[in-house]
Structure 1
Amino acid sequence: MDPKSRRNNMLPEPVQTIINNGTRNLGSDLGNLSIHTKLIIWDEAPMAHRYCFEALDKTLRDICGRKNAEAQSKPFGGKVVVFGGDFRQILPVIPRGSRQDIVLTLKKNMRLGKGADEAENWAISEFADWILKIGDGDIGDAINDEEKQVTIPDDILLQTGNDPFQSIVNSTYPSFTENYLNHEYIRDRAILAPTLDDVASINDYMLSLLPGEESKYLSSDSISNQDSDS
């Protein structure tokens, strides 16, 4: 197997689609989508082979470079690419692979952006160090050999009172009932929850705040057996 084929077999399916189809026909839907894309989010990035990133980088440079020559000299054709995942977990095993085969070197730490002034930069740096120390198990009171109890600073905590859902919604979506029809207001905010049950509970609470009567729309899916009619 030649090196190019071996690299393609290691790629996630969406990346293979862009590489195999996007470069062949610039006028295709996928080619146009690649050109107009502003943001690419790659989850579980540490588990991907470095060839995956290199292949996507080269492909986007080729695709976007046909419309804008400057894109050929920019990483990923000038697209913003966010790598998500646990960058401190065990890296993927590459049979007989060298360090260069496994590790993709990041030249700049983009974990947190810069603040508006020195005070904000210091606060961001302190928060980043605090998060790292939690991951390393360097802070917190030991509960047992595997668990620690960490005290969250008051400045990043919400005072929940008697209704935690109300506190979360009021903090994230102030004046929700007056602004729920404002697309920008909804778009610029989000509540992250650890479990789907929490998501459902918050959704139910926010829906209960909306005016008007509740309506339920039911759907039914069925398989059309065309062979039976032939």
Structure 2
Amino acid sequence: MIALATTTSGVAASILPGGRTAHSRFKIPIDLHEESYCTISKQTGLAELLHVTRLIIWDEAPVAKRIAIETVGRSLQDITGIQKPFGGKVVVLGGDFMQVLPVVPKATIQETINASLVKSYLNKQMQHMTLTENMRSKSDHVFNDFLLQVGSGIEPTDSEGNIKTPDEMIIKYSKSDEESSEEC
């Protein structure tokens, strides 16, 4: 069986075995609209690969705009001829929805939320699974608790909605740090 690994960013793609960005793998157009399709002809090797693929893993999915994920879904339906989400393929959309949202330049908070996967029509058709242990911050309970509070929306914010990073989590910078690194 064939599984494809993809991710929203190039940095993450470089650490996945055989990984590629979603834009590269699925030929997602740069200028998207609600009825966009990926630029994949049904007579290509890529279309055949996607037709026989059983599993697609998309890491950092919360960073992708919902319209890009919906475009891939429509395109897989077109390629497979199956009118189920993602053309009936098993798709794992991974990432931490509590930490990141898509980047929408000069957008309001509501516009950014509307661009996210949680506002997609696909979201209601997905099975949601949650991991409960953050392996990266497992040994730092203070940082782990801080991340959970931020993600849950209970960390205090200022009048502009900004969160203050606790002083004990900040590494102080001084000019002498820069000078000593230049000596190395």
TM-score, with structure 1 as normaliser:
0.39
Q: Which of the pair is proportionally richer in strand?
A: 2
Q: Which of the pair is proportionally richer in helix?
A: 1
Q: Which structure is richer in relative contact order (CA contacts within 8 A, separation 6 or more)? A: 2
Which is higher, the Rg of structure 1 or of structure 2? 1
TM-score, with structure 2 as normaliser:
0.47
